[in-house]
Structure 1
Amino acid sequence: MDFLPLFHNLQGQDVLLVGGGSIALRKARLLLASSAKLTVVAPCINEELKALLTKHQCHYIQAHYHESHIANSLLIVAATNDLLVNQHISNDARLRRIPVNVVDNPTLSTVIFPAIIDRSPIIVAVSSGGKSPVLARLLRAKLETLLPSGYAKLAKLAEKFRDKVKQHFSNTEQRRIFWEKVLQGSISEQVLAGRESQAEKELQQLLDNTQDQPPKGEVYLVGAGPGDPDLLTFRALRLMQQADVVLYDRLVAPEIIDLCRRDADRIYVGKKRNNHTLPQDDINLLLVNLAKQGKRVVRLKGGDPFIFGRGGEEIETLADHNIAFQVVPGITAASGCAAYAGIPLTHRDYAQSVRFVTGHLKDNSIDLPWQELVAKGQTVVFYMGLIGLPTICQQLIQHGQAPDTPMALIEQGTTQSQRVFTSTLANMPETLANKTIQAPTLIIVGEVVKLRDKLAWFN
Structure 2
Amino acid sequence: MDGFPDLPEFPPGEVWLAGAGPGDPRLLTVLALHAVTVADDIVHDALVDPRVLRLARKDAVLLPAGKRGGKPSPKQDEINALLIDRARAGRRVLRLKGGDPFVFGRGWDEVTALSEAQLRFRIIPGLTAGLAGAALAGIPATSRDTNHAVVLAAGHRAEGQSTADWEALGRLGQPLILYMPMTQLEEIVAALQRGGLAAETPATLIQSATVDGERIVESRLDALAADAQHHRLGSPCIAVIGEIAALRKEVFASMVGWS
Q: Which has the larger radius of gyration?
A: 1
Aligned twin of 1:316: 112
Aligned twin of 2:212: 416
Change in CA separation of 1:317 and 1:376 when aligned onto 2, cut-off 3 Å = closer
Aligned twin of 2:70: 274
Could you tell me how far 1:293 is from its partner in structure 2? 0.2
Checking the alignment, whether the CA contact within 8 Å between 1:218 and 1:291 is kept in structure 2 is: yes
One-letter amino acid matched to 1:431: D
Q: 1:240 & 1:410 partners in 2: Cα distance?
A: 27
Could you tell me how far 1:377 is from its partner in structure 2? 5.4
Deviations 1:240-297 (A, max 9, x none): 1111001112111111111122210001111211324211110010000000000001
Change in CA separation of 1:417 and 1:278 when aligned onto 2, cut-off 3 Å = same
Matched, 1:431 2:259: no
Q: 2:244 & 2:162 partners in 1: Cα distance?
A: 24
Matched, 1:387 2:193: no
Aligned twin of 2:137: 341
Query: Which one of 70, 84, 89 corresponds to residue 293 of structure 1?
Result: 89
One-letter amino acid matched to 2:87: A
One-letter amino acid matched to 1:292: R
The percentage of counterpart residues that share the same residue type is 38
Change in CA separation of 1:284 and 1:365 when aligned onto 2, cut-off 3 Å = closer
Q: 1:227 & 1:308 partners in 2: Cα distance?
A: 16
SS at match of 1:222: strand
One-letter amino acid matched to 1:396: L
Checking the alignment, whether the CA contact within 8 Å between 1:352 and 1:377 is kept in structure 2 is: no
Aligned twin of 1:29: none
Query: Which one of 92, 101, 115 corresponds to residue 305 of structure 1?
Result: 101
Aligned twin of 2:18: 222
Aligned twin of 2:126: 330
TM-score, reference length from structure 2: 0.90
Q: 2:161 & 2:37 partners in 1: Cα distance?
A: 39
One-letter amino acid matched to 1:332: T
Q: How many residues align?
A: 251
Change in CA separation of 1:216 and 1:259 when aligned onto 2, cut-off 3 Å = closer
Q: 1:292 & 1:265 partners in 2: Cα distance?
A: 16
Could you tell me how far 1:334 is from its partner in structure 2? 1.4
Could you tell me how far 1:361 is from its partner in structure 2? 3.0
Q: 2:69 & 2:178 partners in 1: Cα distance?
A: 15
Change in CA separation of 1:376 and 1:357 when aligned onto 2, cut-off 3 Å = closer
Could you tell me how far 1:406 is from its partner in structure 2? 0.7
Aligned twin of 2:55: 259
Deviations 1:149-187 (A, max 9, x none): xxxxxxxxxxxxxxxxxxxxxxxxxxxxxxxxxxx88xx
| Structure 2 gaps, min length 5 | none
Q: 2:147 & 2:173 partners in 1: Cα distance?
A: 4
One-letter amino acid matched to 1:277: S
Aligned twin of 1:58: none
Deviations 1:363-417 (A, max 9, x none): 4776422243124651111111111111111110111110010111100111232
Aligned twin of 1:233: 29
Deviations 1:71-96 (A, max 9, x none): xxxxxxxxxxxxxxxxxxxxxxxxxx
Higher RCO (C-alpha 8 Å, min separation 6): 2
Deviations 1:401-452 (A, max 9, x none): 1001011110011123211111111111111223332421111110111111
Between Structure 1 and Structure 2, which shows a larger proportion of helix residues? 1
Checking the alignment, whether the CA contact within 8 Å between 2:167 and 2:191 is kept in structure 1 is: no
SS at match of 1:298: strand
Q: 1:433 & 1:283 partners in 2: Cα distance?
A: 34
